[in-house]
Structure 1
Amino acid sequence: MMVHYQPLLLPPDENQPADDAGHNGSRPAKTTSFSDIDLNRWKEYEDVFTGTLWLLGARDKTGPHVGDYWGNFVPQIPNQVLRRFTKAGDAVVDLFNGMGTTLIECRHLGRHGIGVELLPQIADKARHRIAAAANQHDVTTTVLVGDSRSPETAGRVRAELAALGKTHADCVILHPPYHDIIEFSDDPADLCNAPTLESFLEQFRQVVLNAVDLLADGRFLALVIGDKFEHAQLVPLGFYCAQVCMEAGLQFKAINVKDIQGNERGKGKSENLWKYRALRQGFYIFKHEYIMLFRKPNTSKSNGVSDGSSREHES
């Protein structure tokens, strides 16, 4: 059984040798404005990714995590994102909540979570699943039923943030439908039902603009997305969506490539058929998706590192 919920605030190491300045493991933590990771002890975070190739292995099924919903991403993705780009007590917003994977990880890691789900029946299931997750940090997790494109829904998210004593989210996660690859519903507001690629991207743009407005300056947005085939050619959906994020004013920080082998639903049962189609039609079978990281620009001019005595912000 995989157990990956490691505390990011490591205890002092009394055996750590003093450095040239005479400091040892009991010195104040050196952290950034967006993470609890102690940079003085960076070597000890062996399971926190800094490379762009994410080989996560099998889906984590600890606690209430279950991979029974089409399009449900693996829990290791929000776990890594939250550990790199949030602090304890931060507020995380997921505008495509689905079955609540992000909010379950929020409970495990001590972050408040607000999810938005279009479909009421999925939101109900997500609430029950999230409630089954341990909440030893006593954080608040809320699932709203709404359309992430609409200003009204963004206003409801902002009200939930205000109830937490916050004006903005500290991290936003987006895992939209990969256009029409999976039909999640027949609701015309569902992005999977966008009639054209152009329509999909315009509707996604509306979500991103809400996300940027909700996100605090200097904080991060994660986009989980993949590409697709249509009319016998590759549609680079991930890069089109990245362009939307950049046009909304976000800084493009990273493209991480995640191996999806073993995490797909259905395709594994017909691998031979897919191989035959690939050989006949001249394409390659998707074995990856993207975790793209963006940052909202910060007007502050400091280096974003704190030695424990003050909070500074990175430009």
Structure 2
Amino acid sequence: MKINNLDLANWRGLDINTDSLWLMSERDKTGKHKNIYHGNFIPQIPNQLIRRYTRESEVVFEPFMGSGTTLFECENLNREYIGFDINKQMVTYVDDTMRNSNFNKFHIRYCNSMDFYETDRIFSEIQKTAQFILMHPPYMDIVKFTSDENDLSQVSNINEFINRFKIVCQNVLRFLDKGRYFSIVVGDVYKNSEVLPLAFYCMDMIKRTFKVKLKGIIVKNIEGNRGKFGTQGIWRYRALASDYYIFKHEYIMVFKKEF
């Protein structure tokens, strides 16, 4: 099955990163991309994944839409988009941002991605399945995005978080076509004076729960990460004065659905 539009006859000139280490100098700020939402990821991530794992006009589904980064990339790359978010303000913001766009192949909804029946209703209304799913969940309660008790950013216990994220995965992966791909973008957290490897907890849960193949573990770092930029910054002083290392990376994990 051909899963993308890449021209392999000109493979040497393709700007698709096939390495497991992605070092990026700064966030793409062109077009509709604005860094107005704490925790949004850089546009280069969905751009790379969408071009690698979908063809034009196929459907990209995002259970944690955030401020619309992936939608704006789908607009640029001519992919249809479905996005859910539990934050009503963000749904309104993204809707307003797209109001004057000529691109109309998108469906954004206020929805708790753990809600089986509401998700079912929306997909029945849209009458689509997804060819790629991209998940960028909250990193537990590091940033609380809403006060909704169903918001994963309200969860401070890692076991509870993994159980809830498992429900999300069970709920949304049924709408991904068999043989297609999904990706999670997630970082680790530091709690009670130790690192909690949240990304690997998520990976372990997915591998134990679903019939999937893990196709890649990518380590990503953006050099211009404000607040932690520069070797003489306050973060470096704090690390030297203590016993920990500064988080500069996140993980991008790619899976192939086989059920």
TM range (shorter): over 0.9
Compute the displacement of 1:134 (Å): 6.0
Q: Equivalent residues in 2 for 1:74-223 (5 A)?
A: 74-131=42-99, 135=103, 139-162=104-127, 166=128, 168-223=129-184
Aligned partners of 2:230, 2:99: CA distance in 1, in Å?
A: 33
Aligned partners of 1:160, 1:52: CA distance in 2, in Å?
A: 38
The CA deviation string for residues 212-235 of structure 1, in whole angstroms up to 9 with x for no partner, is 211101111010000011111111
Identify the residue that residue 42 of structure 1 maps to in structure 2: 11
Aligned partners of 2:193, 2:232: CA distance in 1, in Å?
A: 19
| Cα pair distance change 1:245/1:157, threshold 3 Å | farther
Compute the displacement of 1:131 (Å): 3.9
The CA deviation string for residues 161-218 of structure 1, in whole angstroms up to 9 with x for no partner, is 41xxx3x210000000011111112211110111411111111111111222111011
Structure 1: runs of 5 or more not aligned: 1-31, 299-315
Question: Which amino acid in 2 is paired with 1:252?
Answer: L
Note if 1:242 corresponds to 2:210.
no
Aligned partners of 1:253, 1:130: CA distance in 2, in Å?
A: 33
Aligned partners of 2:100, 2:31: CA distance in 1, in Å?
A: 8
Aligned partners of 1:152, 1:85: CA distance in 2, in Å?
A: 28
SS of match in other structure, 1:189: coil
SS of match in other structure, 2:233: helix
Q: CA RMSD in A?
A: 1.9
**Percent identity of paired positions between Structure 1 and Structure 2:** 37
Question: Which amino acid in 2 is paired with 1:154?
Answer: T
The CA deviation string for residues 259-313 of structure 1, in whole angstroms up to 9 with x for no partner, is 133134x455997332222122211101111111011016xxxxxxxxxxxxxxx
Aligned partners of 2:8, 2:249: CA distance in 1, in Å?
A: 31
| Cα pair distance change 1:150/1:269, threshold 3 Å | farther
Question: Which amino acid in 2 is paired with 1:126?
Answer: V
Identify the residue that residue 59 of structure 1 maps to in structure 2: 27
Identify the residue that residue 33 of structure 1 maps to in structure 2: 2
SS of match in other structure, 1:55: strand
Structure 2: runs of 5 or more not aligned: none
Q: Equivalent residues in 2 for 1:5-16 (5 A)?
A: none
Compute the displacement of 1:133 (Å): 5.3
| Cα pair distance change 1:107/1:131, threshold 3 Å | farther
Q: TM-score, normalised by structure 1?
A: 0.77
- Size of the aligned set, in residue pairs, is 258
SS of match in other structure, 1:43: helix
Q: 1:170–1:216: 8 Å Cα contact kept in structure 2?
A: yes
Q: 1:208–1:248: 8 Å Cα contact kept in structure 2?
A: no
Note if 1:69 corresponds to 2:30.
no
Identify the residue that residue 233 of structure 2 maps to in structure 1: 272
2:217 to 255, 258, 276: 255
Compute the displacement of 1:244 (Å): 1.9
Compute the displacement of 1:122 (Å): 1.2
Larger radius of gyration: 1
SS of match in other structure, 1:99: coil
Q: 1:171–1:219: 8 Å Cα contact kept in structure 2?
A: yes
Greater displacement, 54-63 / 214-223? 54-63
